[in-house]
């Protein structure tokens, strides 16, 4: 019996005047899976992310959450549903400490409210941040370090751990391995697996097919704003994915001379 998708898009289109970056997109994200969202520049990936994040509303079509039709009128509403988006800039402030970044935007839930002032429960927040990182196998001894002192992979790990800890049901990662070393990339892909193992559905947006093939259960390939194909990992080769990204078809067409 098929599980109801956590998130489903049904014939979702998005237009900006004469521009049509998304055309009748159908997409399912299942609970506890990693879905690779692939496509060349201009394929519609960024617009699709922003629709899921509540930044853009579809021009037409439906968004379903656990089978229920919903709207996402704002990023706050998307976050309240359990959708967490980690963009390439990570939403992290380099000059703040690790634990402050971990609770960024959620400070009020861990503070004593005084007239005109919030008194942060610093010891508690440090403990929670450290434990949340360790639960994903991320070992950072000093959570008072500023994020500026961390590597790119470590910064990604904080963003992923933050989403998992705050019980995001869907984690969308935008190019999480871009500009990382091989060692750092391996760590980030490990954290993606750990998020999946904790029941979080992950949408992984990447240009690197090899990285996607390491962790993704299924792939959806966008081509000029439409879905070229959705397929299980075992049913496609890396070359087939490359062809889909470049031409919209698994099979390269012979050019008549």
Residue range 72-128, pLDDT digits in tens: 999 889 988 999 888 876 567 888 999 998 888 788 888 888 888 888 899 999 999
pLDDT of amino acid 184: 86
Across the strands, what pairs with 77?
none
Q: List the one residue out of 204, 239, 198, 197 whose CA is nearest residue 218.
A: 204
More confident site: 241 or 163: 241
Cβ–Cβ under 8 Å, residues 26 and 9: yes
Q: Half-sphere exposure of residue 33, counting CA atoms within 13 Å on the CB side?
A: 19
CA 165 to chain centroid, in Å, comes to 15
Cβ–Cβ under 8 Å, residues 222 and 39: yes
Class of domain 7-247: alpha beta
Please name the helix (run of DSSP H) or strand (run of DSSP E) that holds residue 8, with its range, or none: strand 7-16
How is residue 55 written in tokens? 């930044």
pLDDT at 257 over 50: no
How is residue 110 written in tokens? 């861990």
How is residue 234 written in tokens? 């075992």
Across the strands, what pairs with 65?
7, 68
pLDDT of amino acid 256: 43
pLDDT digits (tens, 9 = 90+) for 117-174: 888 899 999 999 999 888 888 888 899 999 888 888 888 888 888 888 888 899 999 9
Cβ–Cβ under 8 Å, residues 184 and 153: yes
First to last CA, the chain: 50
- C-alpha pair distances (Å), 192 with each of 26, 187, 236: 24, 9, 21
Cβ–Cβ under 8 Å, residues 51 and 15: no
Count of other CB atoms within 10 angstroms of residue 151: 13
Instruction: Tell me how far apart the alpha carbons of residues 106 and 89 are, in angstroms, rounded to a whole number.
Output: 19
Helix (H, G, I), strand (E, B) or coil at 212: helix
């Amino acid at each position: 019996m098929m599980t109801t998708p956590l998130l489903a898009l049904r014939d979702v289109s998005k237009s900006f005047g004469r521009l049509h970056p998304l055309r009748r997109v159908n997409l399912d994200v299942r609970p506890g899976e990693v879905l690779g969202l692939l496509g060349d520049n201009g394929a519609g990936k960024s617009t699709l992310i922003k629709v899921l994040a509540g930044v853009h509303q579809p021009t037409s079509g439906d968004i379903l959450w656990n089978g229920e039709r919903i709207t996402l009128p704002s990023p706050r509403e998307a976050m309240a549903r359990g959708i967490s988006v980690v963009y390439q800039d990570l939403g992290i402030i380099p000059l703040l400490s690790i634990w402050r970044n971990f609770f960024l935007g959620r400070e009020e839930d861990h503070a004593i409210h005084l007239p005109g002032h919030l008194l942060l429960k610093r010891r508690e927040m440090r403990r929670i941040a450290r434990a949340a990182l360790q639960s994903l196998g991320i070992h950072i001894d000093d959570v008072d370090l500023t994020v500026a002192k961390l590597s790119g992979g470590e910064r990604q790990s904080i963003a992923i751990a933050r989403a998992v800890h705050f019980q995001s049901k869907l984690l969308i990662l935008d190019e999480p391995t871009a500009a990382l070393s091989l060692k750092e990339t391996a760590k980030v892909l490990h954290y993606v697996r750990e998020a999946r193992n904790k029941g979080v559905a992950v949408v992984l947006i990447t240009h690197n097919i090899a990285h996607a093939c390491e962790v993704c259960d299924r792939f959806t390939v966008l081509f000029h704003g439409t879905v070229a194909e959705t397929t299980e990992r075992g049913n496609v080769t890396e070359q087939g994915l490359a062809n889909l990204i470049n031409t919209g078809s698994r099979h390269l067409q012979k050019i008549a001379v």
